[in-house]
Amino acid sequence: MDRHYEYIYGKHAVLEAVKLRPDVIKTLYLRNDILSTFDTGNLDTKCKINSFVGDAVPKEVPKQSVHQGYVAVIDTNKLILKWDDFIEGLTIKDDTGLMLLGEIQDPHNVGAVIRNAAAFGATAVLVPEHRQAGVTGTVLKVSAGMAFAVPLVEVANVNRVLKILKDKGFFVYGLDAGGDTLLQDEDFRKPSVFVLGNEGGGIRQKTKEACDIVLKIAMHPRCESLNASVSSALVLNAWSQRHPTVLE
C-alpha cells in the first residue's frame, strides 16, 4: 500500500483520533487559542503540532468547512490493518461479528457503516481494496471519529477472504432485498460475517454464492430497498441483541 494521508477536521473527529489512535496522527493543526490550553501528552513524539489563526486552515480542508479549530492529518497506512495480520491475531468467539463492505461507492455510506459497526459492537470492518470507496477524510469525518474505534481491515480478494473465514467457523450472511431469509428469523449463533452490496447492483453474484444465507429486511411493499448504511444498522442491531455482551 502506498503511503497515504487524509485530512480530518472538526472537534469531535479530531479529539476521537487523539484519544483512541494518536499513533496515526502525522500532524495536528489547532487554532491558536485552542493550542494554548490543549493537552498534547497523548500524542506520539513524532507528531507535528502547528497552530493557525481564525480560518487559516491547510488548503486541503474544504472552504467554509466547520472545523471548529481542529484539523489533523491521518496516516491511513497505520490506521488500516492488513488482512494477514488481522486474521492471525483474531480470537474467534460466537459473538465475533465482521462487516464486509461490498464495493460501496459513496464515502458517506462507508463512514456511516463504520459508525454503525462501532455502535453495535462489531469486531471489525473489512474494506475491499478494489471497486470500493477508500477510507478518505470524508469517510473519517462521517464516521464521527468511530473509524478510530473499530478496526478497519483491507482485503484484496473478497471471495478468498470469505472462504478463509468459513473454514474458521464463520457463518456468512449476505444482505439483499431479494434474500431468502427474514432478518428477524435468524439467531446468529455462530461467528458472523455480514456482506453489504453495492448501492446500485447489490452483492456480486459470485460473492452471493459464497454466502451461507442471504438475509432480507421486512419492509412495506412501497419501498424496494434501503441504503447500505441503514441496512447495516438494522442487521447489526439484530445481531447485537442476540449477543448483548458486545455492547458492554
Upper half-sphere CA count for residue 198 (Cβ side, 13 Å):
15
Would you state the pLDDT for residue 82? 97
Would you state the pLDDT for residue 2? 47
Q: What is the mean pLDDT of the chain?
A: 94
**Structure letter (DSSP) for residue 125:** E
Checking if the pLDDT of 131 tops 80, the result is yes
Checking if the pLDDT of 171 tops 50, the result is yes
Compute the Cα dihedral for 193, 225, 144, 207 and give only its sign: positive
Would you state the pLDDT for residue 143? 96
Contact 143, 168 (CB under 8 A): no
pLDDT interval class at 1 (50, 70, 90): very low
The average pLDDT across 100-117 equals: 95
pLDDT digits (tens, 9 = 90+) for 187-204: 999 999 999 988 777 899
pTM of whole model > 0.85? yes
Alpha-carbon torsion angle 120, 122, 127, 131, nearest 10 = -50
Contact 207, 162 (CB under 8 A): yes
What is the rounded distance in angstroms from the CA atom of residue 171 to the CA atom of residue 155? 18
Contact 184, 238 (CB under 8 A): yes
Give the whole-number percent of the chain exceeding pLDDT 90: 86
DSSP states along 65-107: ---TTEEEEEEHHHHEEEHHHHHHHPPP-TT-EEEE--S---H
Which domains, and CATH codes, for the chain?
Answer: 5-79 (3.30.1330), 90-247 (3.40.1280.10)
Contact 199, 103 (CB under 8 A): no
